[in-house]
Chains A and B, each alone.
Chain A
Amino acid sequence: AQSVAQPEDQVNVAEGNPLTVKCTYSVSGNPYLFWYVQYPNRGLQFLLKYITGDNLVKGSYGFEAEFNKSQTSFHLKKPSALVSDSALYFCAVREPYSNTGKLIFGQGTTLQVKP
């Protein structure tokens, strides 16, 4: 069965430091991978996606993620964290062979950036 795992419930980082939010996946076939961010009582906002091509994907708000097929990972990174980056982050994979775009989400990681 397809699945997505975010091993950390919470990540704490000081403002200005680099951040990493981890994601690993288990799917058959070539995955479509996504990162979304959610602020309190809000819907999800798209950050970036990997479909094919360059393994390093750049997205919104200075975030990037690296697709690593051998490690089945798609970690989210940012060189310098901002306090405003504090939010709930979700990794997701599109269900393989789905023609409807159905997504499977990880359990989410709360990012806390302290001043």
Chain B
Amino acid sequence: GAVVSQHPSRVICKSGTSVKIECRSLDFQATTMFWYRQFPKQSLMLMATSNEGSKATYEQGVEKDKFLINHASLTLSTLTVTSAHPEDSSFYICSAPWLADSTEQYFGPGTRLTVT
């Protein structure tokens, strides 16, 4: 089946620094990818829709200057958390629809970000 990878799986950074998270579709092309944030034992909150070749679409309340998204190719989207603060600590998950059947999405394994 289709596979989506994320790198790194976990990262610890100091407050004020920036962190980049990569999301890759390994065996299919994804013109669209989604970025979610998940707090412990809570649901996934959609942050933004990443569009290959164009600007990302952010959900209401998500700061686009803080969470920079770049969809550089049909297999790679990156989320950069700029000037990270402890409240940005969370589990970040990306997903991508299978191009031939966009009713189904494949999720990455997630990235645990801890900001100290």
Contact = CB atoms under 8 A, between A and B. Distances in A.
Contacts of B41: 88, 108, 110
B26 interface: no
Interface residues of A, number: 24
Contacts of B105: 46, 101, 103
Contacts of A107: 42-43
Majority SS of interface residues in chain A? strand
Interface string A36-55: 10000111111001010000
A51 B101 CA distance: 11
Given A41-B110, A43-B110, A44-B93, A99 B102 contact: yes
Interface in B64-116: 91, 93, 95, 97, 102-110, 112
